[in-house]
Amino acid sequence: MIDYQNQTLAVDGVPLTKIAAEFGTPCYVYSEAALTAAFEDYRASFASLDPLICFAVKANSNLSILQHFARLGAGFDIVSGGELARVLAAGSPADKVVFSGVGKSEAEMEMALNAGIHCFNVESVNELARLDAVAGRLNKVAPVSLRVNPDVDAKTHPYISTGLKDNKFGIAFDQARATYHAAASLAHLKVVGIDCHIGSQLTDVTPLIDALDRLLALIDELASDGIVLEHVDIGGGLGIRYTDETPPDIAAYAEKVAERLAGRKLKLVMEPGRSLVGNAGVLLTRIEYLKLGDEKHFAVVDAAMNDLMRPSLYDAYHGIVPVEKKAGVATMTVDVVGPICESSDFLGKNRDLAIEQGDLLAVLSAGAYGSTMSSNYNTRSRAAEVLVENGQTRLIRRRETLDELLVNERELLAK
């Protein structure tokens, strides 16, 4: 886990000072123990329902992280052919994979059908037609679930709200029944389930339960029409603590779900992401300069918005703490900013920190949507990633070299 030991922040007992010395900065560091604990919390809470717990790969797609969850028994929620390639490379059985996303290409559909995935979460009528055609060409039958948009307000950031009528995701609730009939009429599709995901970073489960109630009412209507579903996918979206949030009680949520599924022959599928990895990781960075001004002070660090996009994109808050607690260092209020040539390049604003130039900082709750959203903007190499397992460190993604960033652009014209 991530805590201070002898005034130095450590991950599963390994001081971050040691990790910085060995692997450099910026660097993502993950706790295997925290990953396991988060997954086991879901498994224990929902044990009576024996769910297929599909980790949302977009939250953290490192192969070693995926392999760890696969060994724990997880399935996977993917949104691209690239993510399918990752989970298969990590050792996941294809029949534990659900394929979500609004823009699946023919090539991605073909790849998933040949692999034999558990289900396609279909998000439009036109996608149904395309999938039927691709499956027919391959002489296969595609298992499908419709992602239904229940028009429930998740009360979260608008960029991560996905269950309202004006969101691009899913099939409108009032069109879902007819769309199921259309799906059932297609020769190369097998209707097996229903799916819903209304948003991310939810700290109140009430919208999730409201959405489930709407799905179950639709399931009953479909059954009366002769379309009997095998599974219900309740999505993910449970929030974590970044600052002062109170994360949902997973066991209490599971109890509410179990009450509603009692007596129904429905397999439960779920797609947690952030809540499995978010608080299992930190972004380790070093202060390059303290820039002190008359009205504003800045701690300029070697990590930037290309390493962690969430603060710039969502104005998201991440806790930032000094790796070493030093006696006699004055506290100052600073904006923690990176070296990228953008005013939006910040990791945290107005933070009270007892720091000196050259100190290490840890950006907390960085295990989800950190490395996966990173880029090479300003021709910056993406950060290394390290996993701490039983007190031992393992490099699970090495830092890119500048030669690697340039290699695909070498075909220059001769003068």
Q: Does the reported pTM lie above 0.85?
A: yes
Cα-only R_g, the chain: 23
Q: What is the pLDDT of residue 216?
A: 96
Supply 183's token pair.
Answer: 């799906």
Residues 6+ apart with CB under 8 A from 363: 282, 283, 284, 285, 303, 308, 318, 319, 320, 347, 348
* Active site residue ranges: 341
Residues 6+ apart with CB under 8 A from 94: 84, 88, 112, 115, 116, 117, 118
Span 374-398, average pLDDT: 97
- Establish whether 342 is an annotated binding residue: yes
Q: Hey, what amino acid is at 177? A: R
Q: What is the pLDDT of residue 274?
A: 97
- Establish whether 274 is an annotated binding residue: yes
Where residue 160 falls among pLDDT bands split at 50, 70, 90? very low
Task: Calculate the dihedral angle through the C-alpha atoms of 122, 125, 126, 128, rounding to the nearest 10 degrees.
Answer: 50
DSSP 3-state of 345: coil
pLDDT in tens, 327-338: 999 999 999 999
Asked whether this chain's domains 2-29+278-409 and 32-277 adopt the same fold, the reply is no
Spatial CA neighbour of 77 closest among 147, 125, 129 = 147
Q: What is the pLDDT of residue 26?
A: 98
Supply 59's token pair.
Answer: 């939250």
- Establish whether 237 is an annotated binding residue: yes
- Establish whether 163 is an annotated binding residue: no
Distance set, CA 12 to CA 255, 274, 286, 323 (Å): 31, 20, 21, 14
pLDDT in tens, 170-194: 899 999 999 999 999 999 999 999 9
pLDDT in tens, 52-70: 999 999 999 999 999 999 9
Q: Hey, what amino acid is at 383? A: A
Q: What is the pLDDT of residue 166?
A: 56
Where residue 413 falls among pLDDT bands split at 50, 70, 90? confident
Average pLDDT in the chain: 94
- The C-alpha atoms of residue 191 and residue 93 are separated, in whole angstroms, by 21
Flag whether pLDDT at 252 surpasses 60: yes
- The C-alpha atoms of residue 210 and residue 143 are separated, in whole angstroms, by 26
Task: Tell me which of 3.40.50.2300, 1.10.10.10, 3.40.640.10, 3.20.20.10 is the CATH number of domain 32-277.
Answer: 3.20.20.10
- Establish whether 130 is an annotated binding residue: no
- Establish whether 377 is an annotated binding residue: no
Q: What is the pLDDT of residue 150?
A: 85
Spatial CA neighbour of 203 closest among 235, 158, 244, 238 = 238
Q: What is the pLDDT of residue 415?
A: 75
Percent of the chain with pLDDT over 90: 91
Architecture in CATH for domain 2-29+278-409 = Beta Barrel (2.40)
- Establish whether 242 is an annotated binding residue: no
Flag whether pLDDT at 153 surpasses 90: no
Domain boundaries, the chain: 2-29+278-409, 32-277
DSSP 3-state of 325: coil
Q: What is the pLDDT of residue 40?
A: 98
- Establish whether 199 is an annotated binding residue: no
Where residue 152 falls among pLDDT bands split at 50, 70, 90? confident
160 vs 207, which has greater pLDDT?
207
Q: What is the pLDDT of residue 374?
A: 98
